[in-house]
Each structure stands twice: as structure tokens, then as C-alpha cells.
Structure 1
């Protein structure tokens, strides 16, 4: 290779490196750094795709109950452990038939292709398992709100999220550890 050819390849190499860096940054921006779950933007794109392909899909919102008290009493490391464990439980429950995300704080979201009552019971049971952290067994209660896409007049993700949010707050309002289905 002559000097002129080599000089022509240098800018191409620079652009290739720059492209790789930008791709990694975009991928990182779509993942929550603590839990590894999709952020709102990354999850939304996947959820909309799944809803279009599966009219039997369901959207779930999960909120940790008394998270501030856990954080204040046991420290931020315990709070972070609770968030990571909740993310792992939700990710495992979704498996290959759905996707999970973290909207922020202690609020999580999932969409699955189809939701049976037994599936929801399994999720609720998994979420309510105590968290073992620093030699302690800490309660990890969560409220779950569900919206089945087929029960909406128009299958829109925004409407499903609003209905799941209302169902989640209804579950919190009843003081129940568990889930509630709306729409």
C-alpha cells in the first residue's frame, strides 16, 4: 500500500471508530445503568412493536410499595439492591414472550404477548419475595396494574399505560399487596 492510499484510509478509520462509539452511546442511553432494563424510549419502541403483532398483549406497571422507607431505613445500597432484584424478577418473568423496562425511580413496566391469571399470580408471588441484603431479609412489596390491549377501544400503548397506571394506583389505594386489572 502506498502513502497516498494509506492517507485516504485514515479518515475512513476515524469515521468507523466514531460510528462505533455513537452506536454504543445510543445503546447505553436505551438501558438503565443500574438495572440493565430498557429505559422508557427503548421499552416504548419494543412495546409498540409487540402490541402491533400480538393483539392479546398486556401492559403492566409495577411500583415498589414503601420504597422511600426502605431506602431511608436501610440505606441507598439496600434501595439499589431492591431495584436490581425487582428488575431481575420482572425480566425473568417476561422471558422471551415480553420485555421489561424501568420508567424511573421505583416504577417498572412490562409488556407480554399474552397474560393468563396464572402468569399474573406467578409475577405477584415473585415480586413479593423478600430481598436478602446485608444479612437481612427485607420485605419487597409491589403494586401491579394491568391493562389487556384487547379490552381497549383502540390498541394504543399510551392508553394501555394510562389504564395500567390507574389499576396500579387502585391496588395501592386498597393497601393490597398484589395486582389489579383494568380495562
Structure 2
């Protein structure tokens, strides 16, 4: 006994579903590739431009509850030269992972280049001091490599609208960067103050950082 034929309308729906399913899968793949392209492969953190875009969005929506962090490794070249580049990569990945853990789903973390990182997250002002203490503890955790302890130390600076007096992302990043440099090797997260926002910069980076070349007429951007 032959099965009854499917209604013509059902056949049309089934035929249409095949290319639709293929297009959906193609779109998912494209989205995944785009997301991967926005991230640094070694650390899993956002690249500079995607980070700045997300950070700006968070800051605009929550200007009073946002902390901006600048961090980099202390004596990173010495670590690389002593233990090798594989150890250096592990150290960078660890810094990225620790900042990501601290920032959580409400925040963003980016690798700006080399051993320089930036992070941003939402924290109510009354909890900010405690969260910065937590960050200092996270960054100071020992890191094992090849049955040895890597001498990894990270300096960090923090800036908020309440302590710097600005909600401009570039100003907050510059202030956090200057505070970090001021507190190098102290093992604490240094809170930026208004004067840190006046630090001289070259092409958006603190004057004196590797790769910057100060000009006599440079002014704080």
C-alpha cells in the first residue's frame, strides 16, 4: 500500500527550509570568525580597537560605576630572556586571564600591545576600593612554569570619574597609566588623581613608554 502523497504546500516548506538552514549555519560561522578576529589569540583578550569600542559603550552607560585599569608586567624582558619566550607567553596569558576574571561579564579586557593591558568594569563606588584590593591579590599570584616559579609581577593603575574628575575614556586611560607608572613595583593598584590626567602623552601613550618619541611641543592629549 503506497503512502499518501505529501500536500504540495508541505513540499514547498521543506524545500525552502534546506537553503535557510544552510544560510543560518553560514551566518553562525561568520559571527564566530568575526568574534575571533576581535581577540588576541595568545591571551583571549580583545584587541585594541574592539576593546576601546566596548569600553566606550560601558563608560557612556555607567559613568559613575566604571573603573578603568592599565596594567603591564614588571621586568618582562628579563623574564623572557631568562626563561624563554614560551614562559613569556604563559605570563601574558596569565595576566589576561586574571584581568578577565576580575572584570567579569560586566567588563572588558584588552591587550594594547606587548605586555600592556587595559581593563574596565562596573563597580559601585562604595565597593571600588575592595575590588582594587582583590585585583592586586589576583595579579600577585605565583605562576608555575616547568617546575619553577616565574618571577611574574604586574603593576597597575586605576582611574574613575570620581577620583579623576572626567568621564572621557582617553583621559581615564591616561590617568590610570600615569598612576601605574608612579607605583611601579609596589605590588598595589595605584588610584589615579586629577594630576595624573595631565601626564604628557605621545600619540595617545604616556611619554617615556617604549616606542614613543617625545617632541618639544607635545602636550597632553
TM class, shorter-chain normalised?
A: 0.7 to 0.9
Asked if structure 2 preserves the Cα contact closer than 8 Å seen for 1:46 and 1:99, the reply is: yes
Counterparts in 2 of 1:17 and 1:119: CA distance versus 1, 3 Å: closer
Give the alignment partner of residue 95 of structure 2, picking from 76, 86, 103.
Answer: 86
- Count of residues in correspondence between the two structures: 176
The equivalent of 2:71 in structure 1 is 62
Tell me the distance in 1 between the aligned counterparts of 2:35 and 2:104.
20
2:50 is the counterpart of 1:38? no
TM-score by length of 2: 0.70
Q: What is the RMSD computed on CA atoms of the aligned residues? A: 2.4
Q: 1:155 is paired with a residue of what secondary structure?
A: coil
Q: Which runs of 5+ in 1 are unaligned?
A: 2-9
The equivalent of 1:125 in structure 2 is 137
2:191 is the counterpart of 1:181? yes
Looking at both structures, which has the greater relative contact order when contacts are Cα pairs under 8 Å and sequence separation is at least 6?
1
Q: Which runs of 5+ in 2 are unaligned?
A: 1-10, 12-18, 194-221
1:28 shift after superposition: 2.6
Give the alignment partner of residue 58 of structure 2, picking from 50, 72, 97.
Answer: 50
TM-score by length of 1: 0.84
Tell me the distance in 2 between the aligned counterparts of 1:32 and 1:117.
29
Q: How does 1:131-150 map to 2 (within 5 A)?
A: 131-150=143-162
Point out the structure with max Rg over C-alpha: 2
2:26 is the counterpart of 1:29? no
More helix by share: 1
Counterparts in 2 of 1:151 and 1:179: CA distance versus 1, 3 Å: closer
Asked if structure 2 preserves the Cα contact closer than 8 Å seen for 1:51 and 1:149, the reply is: no
4+ runs deviating over 2 angstroms: 15-29, 149-154
The equivalent of 2:196 in structure 1 is none
